[in-house]
A and B are shown apart, each in its own frame.
Chain A
Amino acid sequence: MAWLAEWLKQIIAIILLAGIVELLLPSNAYQRYVRLVLGLFILLALLSPILSLLQGEFGPRLEASIRDWQGSAARQAVQTGHSLTELQQQAAVLNSRQQDQAAELAAAKLAGEMAAEISRRSGAPQPRVEVLLEAESGGYWRISKVAVSLAEEMEEGNASTSPSISSPEPIEPVAVEVWLGSTTDHPEPQQATREASERWQQVIRTILADGWGVASELIQVTQAGGE
């Protein structure tokens, strides 16, 4: 019975609205036309249970059709106001935006592949790679910078001559130290980055030059941590 109450409420509200609107009208000249529209609204409200029973929700459809109607009028106004050069400018803007997005995607993919290759060949744990691309003429893109940041804890010896075979290391005993005092006298280690060691730089430059032909001056290798 809830729908009945809702329906009656809607009809009463629309009839009240119609009465007030007729009072608000400035003169009698428009009364007939306004009455027509208001009558159509009341008719819609009266028919709404049947309509929704037969055709599903008609409210969104009515809204869409009114918006279409108003939108088509607006579009006509817009179409006459636009010249060919404006359209071409818009096309150029859209084109460049699309190219930028493609470049971003390509850079992310390239960075992922580089990181995987570095960690496969050198054994560096989870290197973070960022690739910057630069547009060239003719729609080509060039790698302008590769920044590799290595994780903090890495032994120098890992970058050895046989990196692909990593022998399992025995687990060392773990020492757990519990501090009960205040932690203020143990300052947090600073998370700074510094240049990675010469050896790592060499290894990573070789990998990137082999795989992607990146010139070594474009590569920047940093390592997290270090006091």
Chain B
Amino acid sequence: MEMVQIVGIGLIATLLILIVKEQKPVFAFLLAVFTGIYLFLFLIGKIDTVIRVLENLASRSGVPTIYLQTILKIIGIAYIAEFGAQIVRDAGQESIASKIEFAGKVLILAMAVPIISIIVETVLNLLPAGG
């Protein structure tokens, strides 16, 4: 039933945007943004259940919480960056959209820095000292 609602909202928004676009492209853009935000908020509840399942799985199997936190942060960054980039792309600003995506990628990689540093440190400690 929710799927029907989402498709219905999408179709109506598309139709309205097609009508408005000829006269006022700015309003068409605003309409697209609001539709996107609405759908995003509509689905956040569903993502919440998935995340709860993940948390449950992690806590039951003894995975350190810091792993899960990092993973969830990565998912969040990916979603927000993708959402923003698509909105900007809809407005026709391809270059800004790719910058947003780039920022998302950099932030995701920054999450990995502590892990990489720990692994590198460990491997260096594994090697025999001196030589």
Chain B associates with chain A: yes
Given A30-B104, A36-B109, A14–B63 Cβ distance below 8 Å?
yes
Kindly list the 5 A-B residue pairs having the minimum CB-CB distance in the complex, ordered from nearest: A13-B61, A26-B82, A65-B114, A66-B114, A40-B115
* Interface residues in A, total, Cβ within 8 A: 39
Q: Does the CB pair A26–B79 fall under 8 Å?
A: yes
Contact count band on B: 35 or more
**B117 at the A interface (CB under 8 A):** yes
Q: Which residue of B lies closest to A9 (CB)?
A: B61
Q: Does the CB pair A27–B122 fall under 8 Å?
A: no
Give every chain B residue within 8 A of A54 (Cβ-Cβ).
Answer: 122, 125-126
**B27 at the A interface (CB under 8 A):** no
Closest beta carbon of chain B to A50's beta carbon, Å: 8
CB neighbors of A among B77-117 (8 A):
78-79, 81-83, 101, 104-105, 108-117
**A24 at the B interface (CB under 8 A):** yes
Partner of B115, one of A16, A21, A44: A44
Give every chain A residue within 8 A of B62 (Cβ-Cβ).
Answer: 6, 9-10, 13
Give every chain A residue within 8 A of B53 (Cβ-Cβ).
Answer: 20
CB neighbors of B among A1-46 (8 A):
6, 9-10, 12-14, 16-17, 20-21, 24-27, 29-30, 33-34, 36-38, 40-41, 43-45
Q: Which of B47, B66, B67, B74 has the most CB of A within 10 A?
A: B67
Interchain residue pairs with CB less than 8 A apart (16): A13-B58, A14-B63, A21-B54, A21-B74, A24-B75, A25-B78, A30-B78, A30-B108, A34-B108, A37-B112, A37-B115, A40-B115, A43-B119, A51-B122, A58-B118, A65-B117
Give every chain B residue within 8 A of A25 (Cβ-Cβ).
Answer: 75, 78
**A61 at the B interface (CB under 8 A):** yes
